Amino acid sequence: MQACQRHNYYHHHSAAARAQPESKICWSCHRSSAPTALLCDNERCRAIQPVGKGVTYFDLLLDDGKPSFDVSAADLRRRFLKLQQTVHPDSFSQKEDVERKLAEAQSSWINHAYATLKDPLSRARYLLKLQGREIDEKDQIADPELLMEIMESREEIEMAKTESQVADIRLRNEQKVAGVVERLSQAFASGDLARARDLTHHLQYLRRISQTVHGWEPSDA
């Protein structure tokens, strides 16, 4: 999706769904800093700051800060490593207790942000949460076709006798995952959140199939 399309959609939807991040007041020098600042903006201070109120994972890990399903894995990784280098707890081991605790909190938050955005399923769930469309993992399958698909896949796994059969199931499931991810991208790009929510449910169940396949072991019978 082009940047302008992403901007137009989220400009009209995200702004209304969540409050804008608040500027920070440094605990040390009491000067104002940007919501996403890891360190105080005051060059004479540069004390580590707490996680900003209202700041999203996109604000911190994407250069433009715009929520989007379409992200560059390489850019995300580059940004993550840069941020972690700034707040790594080892760099604050000789600082006072408040700074050590803030470094640990920032590092943990950045780790969780990266883990969320690098994975298509958790990224989709997070986007929906920002829009007030949070998905419960315990939600039941409402689509009869999807229910039948999942039941057939589980039966195939249970009936599988050889590594070759399981490998074939794994390949077909991976192809389904790729197709759902592509449709998710289109749904988010067009602002069809109802469709995006349905597809995220689909992807969630395909992920469970992947986990089942990964844990398959040949029967002794």
pLDDT tens readout for residues 97-111? 999 999 999 999 999
Instruction: Supply 76's token pair.
Output: 């995300």
Q: Which residues contact 71 (CB under 8 A, 6 or more apart)?
A: 62, 117, 118, 123
161-186 as b/e: b if 16+ CB within 10 A: eeeeebeebbeebeebbeebbebbbe
DSSP state of 25: E
- Using pLDDT thresholds of 50, 70 and 90, give the confidence band for residue 15: very low
Check residue 58 and give its pLDDT. 97
Average pLDDT over residues 194-204: 93
- Using pLDDT thresholds of 50, 70 and 90, give the confidence band for residue 186: very high
pTM of the model: 0.85
